């Protein structure tokens, strides 16, 4: 019997760039961990698939890579260990060392002064990059720090030999060693700060949770932190206040801005018994709420968890970058050795220049840019989608969305409003009031959208009150009930009775198998449905209707919207068969309400759940639209396309940079210092391109 595995969250210090994150990621992959998420900017490491028994070994393994796993008892990262401190320390010694190239002062040109200025920087770099390089080689995963360590050490050793043997200025390259270390630390610092910006969407959401609220106990008001709110607490929310947790309004009314959660820009009016979502703002009015969901159960906490989980899932395109990066370091070391051998022994260039060319090759190469290309774009894309009320479960989903061939829509509640009007009731030998009362009572046992709409249009009449002792709802069929007198009631799909009435009615009511009423129900097409269908057709995606409703109704909706492929009158099993058939022809998305269509949403390549944020079938769909406005689907397609486009641009730059820069360095056109500068800013360019996705217009 397998031990139970759980999701593990660790705080790991000592990660200074994406290179460090990749090392931990690769180590965890070797240990067969799942859903790995490593963010060096926030020192967060998250994974699953590891048992409690294996965790100490995993923790020790991460520390053996040269990092520190913090516990509640562990001290925080020391000031002198922080990347910012190391950079400023290096810069302090590097500036006067570098100045000798422009200022002709004898002290600056003294080899022992240069050695004294370079030694602290070299020792810092030796331990900073050397530690990471050693552990990466020890674990069979050589990283970029190996290249920096070799390059800086070669320049320092060469200069030291020249100093001790009094070989003259041709052997003085201390400024090269110090500048390489300082510029790479600067690049790491920029990288960390820039990557932090790509995860700002999560940061914004987490900030929302970090607020205080007013708790009411026996008419006394007490200010407490959101984390201290318990289920059942009564909270007072005043105009302008942030609603701290999910709850139900028990007193008052007002307008609530839900844009942070659902992407809906206009405030929504809420009165007594309405549900409010934590993280939204009461813009007008005063209300009292009962806390119904607190802590990790709130919609906001689930959104944060979903975004973090999504960032751990790599799109297939990232595997290309990862594969190249894994062979990159040994490949560059070989090129550097060849560069030195060819320039010195064959081209007969001076020893100094040959060495500088080889060091430049080591320093200019940048596997980090390849490592950053995909995750930074995915983080920004997921964050922008989340702010628009679109939750995407994984970078792999973004890539699937860009290659869609079919988009399958459930009709009721998806393309139509789900707010049903009863167009007509035909009764047979029974009063209409009695029929309406029976139907209202039966539909009280169902949460189906049709049931909710019918209850709004029908009232329960006391004179016809029936006590039901056994009520059962069967999906795609209807309600079956028995009363205390053993009478059997059926409110079911009109085609399922002893006689098929589906050509005339949508539902039939029978008592003891005698049909007493037939109901005709009509549904309204949702706003923006027609525009959405035109938009997806324009992207060469085939729209499909897949519904349990009868053919005439599906045909009518399809005709109004311009959909040619229709599958009507299908039960859940038949829906699955159709989804599987479409999947064989191309990548298929299924759009449904996330509850009744859960099996089809799970089976499709991409399940898209439309529905009320507080009743989401989170496990079924890969994408959850908190705002059921169909415009969100078009926004989703645009975000998917632009994110993938950004990933491709980033990968192109990362590959092109290395393909161009390495030969230039080998031929002597890029010295080690310029190479270090180029390498440091290649990462920043990739991250900057990803950050563009936060603001660019989606077209």
**In angstroms, what CA-CA distances link 329 with 30, 68, 451?**
19, 24, 63
515 with 530, same domain: the answer is: no
Is the CB of residue 246 less than 8 Å from the CB of residue 256?
no
pLDDT in tens, 176-207: 889 889 888 887 787 777 666 666 556 666 67
What does the angle CA 131 – CA 132 – CA 134 come to, to the nearest 5 degrees? 65
Q: What is the dihedral of CA 252, 254, 259, 264, to 10 degrees?
A: 110
195 with 343, same domain: the answer is: yes
* Per-residue pLDDT band at 250 (split at 50, 70, 90): very high
553 with 671, same domain: the answer is: no
Alpha-carbon gap, residue 165 to 394, rounded angstroms: 59
72 with 87, same domain: the answer is: no
* Residue 240 in domain: yes
Higher pLDDT, 30 or 405: 405
Question: In the numeric block, which tokens belong to residue 118?
Answer: 């370079």
* Per-residue pLDDT band at 584 (split at 50, 70, 90): very high
Alpha-carbon gap, residue 496 to 60, rounded angstroms: 63
**Residue 99: what pLDDT?**
79
**Residue 586: what pLDDT?**
92
* Residue 651 in domain: yes
* Residue 105 in domain: yes
Residue 619 CB neighbours (<10 A): 12
The predicted model gives 422-433 an average pLDDT of 86
**Residue 1: what pLDDT?**
41
* Residue ending a domain, choose from 47, 77, 107: 77
278 with 340, same domain: the answer is: no
* Residue 218 in domain: no
Quick check: 265 pLDDT over 70?
A: no
Alpha-carbon gap, residue 138 to 281, rounded angstroms: 52
- The domain tally of the chain equals 5
Q: What is the dihedral of CA 475, 476, 477, 483, to 10 degrees?
A: 30
413 with 445, same domain: the answer is: no
* Residue ending a domain, choose from 265, 293, 321: 293
**Residue 139: what pLDDT?**
73
* Residue 205 in domain: no
366 with 403, same domain: the answer is: no
Is the CB of residue 601 less than 8 Å from the CB of residue 620?
yes
pLDDT in tens, 644-678: 899 889 888 888 888 899 999 999 898 887 887 78
The domain that holds 602 is classified in CATH as 3.40.50.1000
The domain that holds 54 is classified in CATH as 3.30.70.100
**Residue 614: what pLDDT?**
39
pLDDT in tens, 506-546: 889 999 989 999 988 877 888 899 999 999 999 999 999 99
186 with 331, same domain: the answer is: yes
269 with 367, same domain: the answer is: no
How confident is the prediction for the chain on average, in pLDDT? 83
The helix-helix angle for 200-209 and 174-198 (nearest 10°) equals 50
* Residue 149 in domain: yes
Quick check: 612 pLDDT over 60?
A: no
**Residue 194: what pLDDT?**
66
410 among known catalytic residues: yes
**Residue 532: what pLDDT?**
94
Is the CB of residue 593 less than 8 Å from the CB of residue 611?
yes
What does the angle CA 468 – CA 472 – CA 476 come to, to the nearest 5 degrees? 135
Given the residues 241, 396, 410, 523, select the one marked as catalytic: 410
Picking from 183, 176, 156, the residue whose alpha carbon sits closest to that of residue 86 is 183
Quick check: 370 pLDDT over 70?
A: yes
Q: What domain range includes position 288?
A: 230-293
**Residue 620: what pLDDT?**
67
* Residue 640 in domain: no
Residue 69 CB neighbours (<10 A): 18
616 with 600, same domain: the answer is: yes
**Residue 316: what pLDDT?**
67
**In angstroms, what CA-CA distances link 586 with 208, 367, 405, 537, 591?**
41, 34, 5, 15, 16
**Residue 615: what pLDDT?**
47
**Residue 558: what pLDDT?**
93
The predicted model gives 143-152 an average pLDDT of 85
pLDDT in tens, 309-337: 666 666 666 666 666 766 788 888 999 99
Alpha-carbon gap, residue 85 to 360, rounded angstroms: 26
Quick check: 285 pLDDT over 70?
A: yes
59 with 93, same domain: the answer is: no
532 with 657, same domain: the answer is: no
pTM for this model (two decimals): 0.69
Higher pLDDT, 405 or 375: 405
* Residue ending a domain, choose from 506, 522, 538: 522
């Amino acid at each position: 019997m397998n031990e139970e595995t759980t999701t593990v969250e660790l705080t790991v210090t000592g990660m200074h760039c994406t290179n460090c994150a990749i090392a931990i990621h690769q180590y965890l992959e070797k240990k067969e961990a799942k859903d790995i998420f490593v963010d060096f900017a926030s020192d967060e490491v998250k994974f699953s698939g590891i048992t409690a028994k294996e965790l100490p070994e995993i923790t020790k393994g991460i520390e053996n890579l040269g990092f520190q796993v913090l516990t509640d008892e562990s001290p925080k990262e020391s000031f002198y260990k922080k990347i910012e401190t190391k950079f400023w320390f290096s810069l302090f010694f590097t500036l006067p060392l570098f100045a000798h190239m422009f200022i002709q002062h004898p002290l600056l040109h003294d080899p022992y002064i240069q050695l004294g200025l370079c030694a602290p920087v070299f020792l810092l770099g030796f331990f900073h990059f050397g530690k990471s390089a050693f552990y990466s080689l020890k674990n069979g995963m050589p990283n970029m720090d190996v290249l920096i360590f070799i390059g800086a050490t070669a320049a320092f050793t060469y200069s030291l030999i020249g100093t001790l043997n009094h070989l003259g200025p041709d052997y003085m390259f201390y400024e090269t060693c110090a500048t390489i270390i300082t510029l790479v630390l600067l690049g790491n610092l920029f990288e960390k700060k820039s990557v932090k910006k790509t995860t700002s969407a999560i940061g914004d959401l987490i900030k929302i949770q970090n607020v205080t609220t007013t708790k009411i106990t026996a008419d006394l008001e007490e200010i407490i932190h959101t984390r201290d709110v318990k289920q059942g607490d009564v909270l007072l929310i005043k105009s302008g206040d942030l609603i701290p947790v999910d709850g139900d309004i028990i007193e008052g009314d007002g307008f609530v801005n839900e844009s942070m959660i659902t992407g809906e820009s206009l405030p929504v009016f809420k009165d007594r018994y309405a549900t409010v979502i934590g993280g939204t703002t009461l813009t007008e009015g005063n209300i009292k709420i009962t806390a119904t969901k607190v802590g990790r159960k709130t919609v906001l906490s689930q959104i944060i968890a979903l975004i973090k989980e999504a960032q751990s899932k790599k799109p297939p395109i990232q595997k290309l970058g990862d594969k190249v990066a894994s062979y990159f370091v040994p490949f560059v070391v070989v090129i550097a050795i060849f560069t030195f051998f060819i320039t010195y022994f064959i081209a007969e260039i001076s020893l100094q220049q040959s060495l500088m060319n080889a060091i430049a090759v080591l320093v200019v190469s940048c596997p980090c840019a390849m490592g950053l290309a995909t995750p930074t774009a995915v983080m920004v894309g997921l964050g922008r989608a989340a702010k628009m009320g679109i939750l995407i479960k994984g970078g792999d989903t973004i890539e699937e969305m860009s290659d869609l061939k079919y988009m399958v829509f459930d009709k009721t509640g998806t393309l139509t409003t789900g707010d049903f009007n009863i167009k007509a009731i035909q009764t047979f030998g029974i009063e209409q009031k009695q029929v309406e009362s029976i139907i209202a009572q039966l539909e009280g046992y169902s949460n189906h959208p049709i049931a909710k709409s019918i209850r709004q249009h029908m009232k329960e009449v006391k004179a016809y009150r029936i006590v039901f002792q056994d009520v059962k709802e069967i999906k795609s069929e209807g309600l079956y009930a028995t009363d205390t007198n053993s009478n059997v009631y059926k409110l079911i799909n009109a085609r399922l009775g002893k006689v098929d009435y589906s050509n005339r009615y949508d539902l039939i009511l029978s008592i003891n198998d005698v049909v007493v009423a037939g109901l005709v129900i009509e549904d309204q097409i949702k706003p923006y449905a027609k525009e959405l269908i035109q938009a997806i057709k324009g992207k060469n995606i085939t729209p499909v209707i897949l519904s349990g409703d009868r053919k005439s109704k599906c045909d009518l909706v399809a005709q109004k919207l311009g959909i040619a492929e229709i599958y009507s009158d299908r039960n859940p099993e038949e829906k699955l068969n159709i989804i599987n058939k479409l999947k064989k022809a191309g990548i298929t998305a299924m759009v449904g309400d996330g509850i009744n269509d859960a099996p089809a949403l799970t089976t499709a390549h991409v399940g898209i759940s439309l529905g009320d944020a507080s009743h989401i079938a989170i496990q079924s769909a890969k994408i959850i639209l908190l705002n059921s406005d169909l415009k969100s689907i078009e926004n989703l397609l645009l975000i998917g396309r632009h994110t993938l486009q950004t990933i491709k641009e980033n990968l192109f730059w990362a590959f092109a940079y290395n393909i161009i820069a390495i030969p230039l360095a080998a031929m002597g056109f890029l010295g080690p210092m310029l190479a270090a500068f180029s390498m440091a800013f290649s990462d920043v360019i990739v991250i900057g391109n990803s950050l563009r996705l936060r603001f660019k217009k989606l077209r």
